Structure 1
Amino acid sequence: MQNSAIWLVIVLAFVAANLPFVSNRFFLVMPLKKTPKSIWLRLLELLILFFVVGFIGMALEARIGQNYPQHWEFYAVSVSMFLVLAFPGYVLRYMVKRHPAPNRT
């Protein structure tokens, strides 16, 4: 149970970290009038998803046993890891050059 809960949180963190870069909708639900979505809105969404994944991780830890008290070092590493997990989505959104489709007439 403990091993599967750890992998669940890691996979969930990877998916959640890349969600802001997948779509121009806010949380994949609310369409925005201004497109494309700004980087600041994506970072806000990333921060909110970080806390959601953190709460899910804490709930799983409480279900397995007792929550272990964490200090600032744990949260600094967690934010860093979440940003590293978000790197593939960032690269696909901002660094991969999109070529226009060829004009076939």
Structure 2
Amino acid sequence: MTQTAGVYILLGLAFVAANLPFLFERVLFVVRPAGGVKNFAWRLLELLLLYFAVGALAQVLEVRAHGSAYPQNWEFYATTLSLFIVFAYPGFVYRYLWQGRRRRAAAVSA
């Protein structure tokens, strides 16, 4: 696998991971919440945890490819977190905008 292919695979994995909190109703993908519906704060916490998990995987791959990881400053983390949040936008739209419109339309037609 070339380095370019690895970067694309990592970006694809980041895209999938960023959308996971909005697709599942279980807290941390294991525990069903007390009210049956996971609130937005849990989704943000899961998004942050998945950001760190993908970042750790990226660092492992970098160390494996180059022998050491290049030291990063806060600008790198601010940029990658922003990119991760942008990747999460389709899941957010699906959960809060598209599904909400479908529920309202179903309630009006009933």
Q: TM-score, normalised by structure 1?
A: 0.90
CA distance in 1, matches of 2:52, 2:42: 16
- Match for residue 23 of structure 1? 24
Q: What CA distance in whole angstroms lies between the structure 1 residues aligned with 2:31 and 2:57?
A: 23
> For residue 97 of structure 2, what is the aligned residue in structure 1?
95
Identity %, equivalent residues: 45
Q: Is it true that 1:54 corresponds to 2:55 in the alignment?
A: yes
Partners of 2:81 and 2:26 in 1: how far apart? 23
TM-score normalized with structure 2 length: 0.86
Q: CA deviation at 1:2?
A: 1.0
- What is aligned with 2:39? 38
- The runs of 5 or more residues in structure 2 that have no matched partner are none
Q: Give the AA of the match of 2:88.
A: A
Residues 36-83 of structure 1: per-residue CA shift (max 9 Å, x gap): 110001000000000000000000111110311110110000010000
- Does the Cα contact within 8 Å between 1:19 and 1:27 map onto a contact in 2? no
Pick one of 72, 75, 78 that aligns with 2:74: 72
Q: If each structure's helix is expressed as a fraction of its own residues, which one has the higher value?
A: 2
Q: How many residues align?
A: 103
SS in 1 for 2:106: coil
Q: Which runs of 5 or more residues in structure 1 are unaligned? A: none
Deviant stretches of 4+, over 3 Å: none
